[in-house]
Amino acid sequence: MRRLLALLAVPAALATVAGCGDRGAGGSTPPAGATTLVVRLSELPGMLPPGGMAAVPPRYSLFGDGRLISVPDGPARGWPRLREDTVAPDDVLELYRAATALPDGPAADVPDGPVVQVTVGTTGGRRSVTLDRADPAAARLLAALARQVDGPPVPYEPTAVAVVATPADPAEPARPWPLPTLAGEPLGATSAGSTCLVLRGVDVDTARRAAATADAAARWSSAGQVWQVAPRPLLPDESGCADL
């Protein structure tokens, strides 16, 4: 947990500096736009999975047009299934205000304990804070977002998917990766040691069909190496690996 919090602290501090002016003046109105982030909440375990933070889709991402993209409850298989809901403008405003009111203090230093990272979009940039999962303010925001997920599920259909690949034991049984290459650009921070490859168009469909017959722990072979992969759908404000 101490290492995770230290790695989270640098981007969070930079985002806080970028957003401070907006909080003080005109920060009570959420930004608008279908690809503009309003609030993002990520639930991170104390021990991150292979691929680090890049492999963990945010639990909730709320955008300026009221679209809320979330990770449903329940175990994920080889391909993540995200859903879309629509949040009313008054509720977008309340969620935004609750997120901007979160304290800037660091998360409690609980070894191997889960944390919540909240990112708020403002006209001056983004502000991120990391709180202990049991923090009352974080719990209230999490519950408020969860209440917006209602009705029959509408699948989120991404235009691109990032595949986070982590080297695995070469002696393990592995399936052949269905595309010409798997290894992508190297990742850093909590994802150091893994790579990221963005799939688009028919490549997304090819990888999805292959992953549908596997589970999240499946191993894949590509270019003489064995990998564990984590498909990560790109969200409307994300264009590539650098955004993870």
Tens place of pLDDT per residue across the chain (244 aa): 444 544 454 444 434 433 443 443 336 899 999 999 999 999 998 889 999 999 999 999 999 999 999 999 876 677 899 999 999 999 999 999 999 999 876 555 555 678 999 999 987 889 999 999 889 999 999 999 999 999 898 999 999 999 999 999 999 999 999 999 999 999 999 999 999 999 999 999 999 999 988 888 899 999 999 999 999 999 999 999 999 9
What DSSP element (H or E) covers 169? none
* Same domain flag for 168 and 143: no
Q: Are residues 118 and 23 in the same domain?
A: yes
Structural domain count, the chain:
2
pLDDT at residue 82, rounded to an integer? 96
Closest CA to 239 of 161, 169, 183, 173: 161
Q: What is the CA radius of gyration of the chain?
A: 18
- 233 with 140, same domain: the answer is no
If asked whether residues 238 and 215 sit together in one domain, one would say yes
What pLDDT is stored for residue 8 in this prediction? 53
- Whether 129 and 92 map to the same domain: the answer is yes
Cα(120)–Cα(212) distance, rounded to whole angstroms? Answer: 34
Enumerate residues 6+ apart whose C-beta is below 8 A from 178: 206, 207, 209, 210
Helix or strand run (H / E) with residue 9: helix 2-24
Residue that is last in its domain, among 155, 172, 197: 155
Find where tokens 């292979």 sit: 50
* Residue 237: φ, ψ to 5°: -95, 5
Task: Choose the final residue of a domain: 155, 176, 202.
Answer: 155
Domain that holds residue 185: 160-243
Q: Is the same domain home to 103 and 42?
A: yes
Long-range contacts for 83-86 (Cβ within 8 Å, ≥24 apart)?
83/149, 83/153, 83/154, 83/155, 83/156, 84/154, 84/155, 84/156, 85/148, 85/149, 85/150, 85/151, 85/154
Is the domain of 125 the same as that of 186?
no
Q: Give the CATH number for residue 145.
A: 3.30.1560
Domain identity same for 141 and 22: yes
Phi, psi angle pair for 36, to nearest 5°: -100, 125
Q: What is the pLDDT of residue 6?
A: 45
- Nearest Cα to Cα of residue 203 among 158, 156, 155: 158
Q: Which pTM was predicted?
A: 0.86
Q: Please indicate, yes or no, whether residues 119 and 187 belong to a single structural domain of this protein.
A: no
Pick from 225, 238, 214: which is nearest to 182 by CA?
Answer: 225
129 and 148 both lie in a single domain? yes
Name which of 200, 205, 196 is nearest 244 in CA terms. 196
Sheet holding 125-132, edge to edge: 125-132, 115-122, 37-44, 60-63, 67-70, 83-86, 154-155
Q: Is the backbone of residue 241 left (phi > 0), alpha (psi -120 to 50) or beta?
A: alpha
